[in-house]
Structure 1
Amino acid sequence: MKNANLSFKGQIPFNEEFGDIYFNTDKPLLESEFVFASALDEIWQSKDSFIVAETGFGAGLNFFTLCKKFKTSSKNLHFVSIEKSPIKKEDLLKIYENLGIFKAYAKKLVSLYPPLISGIHRINFAPNITLDLCYGEADQILPELDFAADIWFL
């Protein structure tokens, strides 16, 4: 298990191993909200609890976007994310500083961020928000998990 090997193209984090950026706009939270948070809108009224799963936690922007949606709600979020190469805490701090995003969320995530040990790390992020941050290969982690996602972010 190893951390992501990042460099920065301006303020955009770039994964050297995969030769790809983590997000591609100057307003990635708006991009995440448009693409992912809107996916819940179709089923929002019909459920009180949601399980959202994704492959590739990255900097956690999709998670933060959903935290914003659930912050003032009595509904529950269980967010399951599988990450092969977690970003180092110091790189996360740089990403969050550059984006000026959700400082309270960013600070809390960094303080609870699990060590670089493969497996499932449960984080009780808020009374109604649980994050299962799963470190490892998706094909090895998925058989260990028992859930039915309402929505998958791929």
Structure 2
Amino acid sequence: MHHHPAQLAWRDNGTPVSTRFDDPYFSLENGLAETRHTFLAGNGLPGRLCEGFHVGELGFGTGLNLLAFWQAAREAGVAVRYTGFEGFPMSAAEAARALEPFAPAFPELAEALVAGWPEAGGRFSAPGLEAEVIAGDARTTLPDWTGRADAWFLDGFSPAKNPELWEPELMAEVARHTAPGGTFATYTAAGHVRRALEAAGFDVARAPGYGRKRHMSRGTLSTGPHR
């Protein structure tokens, strides 16, 4: 299993920062609102949720996006699936510390996730959720994955700092592992990322970003002849 631990520093306000990519995992002030705006609403959720709905994520990170998805599914009364791809997994202790500020927003769920935290990747089952974290370089692990996601959360560190998670070849693999009519959403509006997703077969649109971020990107897998 080729993966490396996350390299973390902690800002005074409690925000975890990756020292490897010099990028924070989320904004502590509005991390949850940003997640809901970008990854849930960006994928038309919770409106599209149904039994067995499957989310794939590049960049499992702290598990915050998974928690927001799981909570939305519980509120909708459906059981869902999640697969995260993470090259640099956090330890359970790091995850507990990172998620502590959000615990009140997810009664029981945050605690359950930390208790079953997949330190080196692995499966996590809980009421209403079947999740798996696949540790390692997504450029190697995603091509071998046999699943297909209904929605993708593209949440790697910034394309400027972590370009390998946004390569055209990997975006093509994302499309290849997307169910018909499936979608993606991401916080970045970088032109090369949008072009890579378009080339992969998504109809890509720019949407208003959260807070001070002017733009984000979202898209739907097109059924056109170029695929």
Both structures adopt the same fold (TM-score exceeding 0.5): yes
Structure with bigger gyration radius:
2
Taking structure 1 as reference, are residues 61 and 30 closer, same or farther at Cα in structure 2, changes over 3 Å only?
same
Shift of 1:19: 0.9
Which residue does the alignment assign to 1:121?
A: 122
Which residue does the alignment assign to 1:80?
A: 83
Is 1:58 aligned to 2:76, yes or no? Answer: no
Tell me, in whole angstroms, the C-alpha distance in 1 between the residues paired with 2:100 and 2:28: 16
Higher relative contact order (CA 8 A, sep 6+): 1
* SS of equivalent to 1:93: helix
Taking structure 1 as reference, are residues 43 and 145 closer, same or farther at Cα in structure 2, changes over 3 Å only?
farther
Which one of the candidate residues 37, 40, 58 is aligned to 2:44?
A: 40
Which one of the candidate residues 5, 8, 11 is aligned to 2:7?
A: 5
Identity of matched residues, %: 25
Tell me, in whole angstroms, the C-alpha distance in 2 between the residues paired with 1:77 and 1:63: 11
RMSD: 2.0
Tell me, in whole angstroms, the C-alpha distance in 2 between the residues paired with 1:77 and 1:17: 32
State the AA in 2 paired with 1:68: Q
Deviations 1:15-71 (A, max 9, x none): 0011111013512111101111112338617x4331111110010111010111111
Shift of 1:73: 2.9
State the AA in 2 paired with 1:44: R
Deviations 1:91-137 (A, max 9, x none): 11111223444242121112111243xxx6221122x3111111111
* SS of equivalent to 1:26: coil
Deviation above 3 Å: which 4+ runs of structure 1? 40-43, 98-101
Contact residue 125 and residue 131 of structure 2 kept, 8 A: yes
Q: Gapped runs of 5+ residues in structure 1?
A: none
Contact residue 89 and residue 119 of structure 2 kept, 8 A: no
Contact residue 96 and residue 103 of structure 1 kept, 8 A: no
Shift of 1:2: 2.0
Tell me, in whole angstroms, the C-alpha distance in 2 between the residues paired with 1:51 and 1:80: 8
Contact residue 25 and residue 31 of structure 1 kept, 8 A: no
Is 1:23 aligned to 2:55, yes or no? Answer: no
Paired residues in the alignment total 149
TM-score by length of 1: 0.86
Which one of the candidate residues 95, 100, 106 is aligned to 1:92?
A: 95
Contact residue 51 and residue 151 of structure 1 kept, 8 A: yes
State the AA in 2 paired with 1:151: A
Contact residue 2 and residue 85 of structure 1 kept, 8 A: yes
- When structure 1 is superposed on structure 2, of 106-115 and 7-16 the one drifting more is 106-115
Q: Gapped runs of 5+ residues in structure 2?
A: 155-227
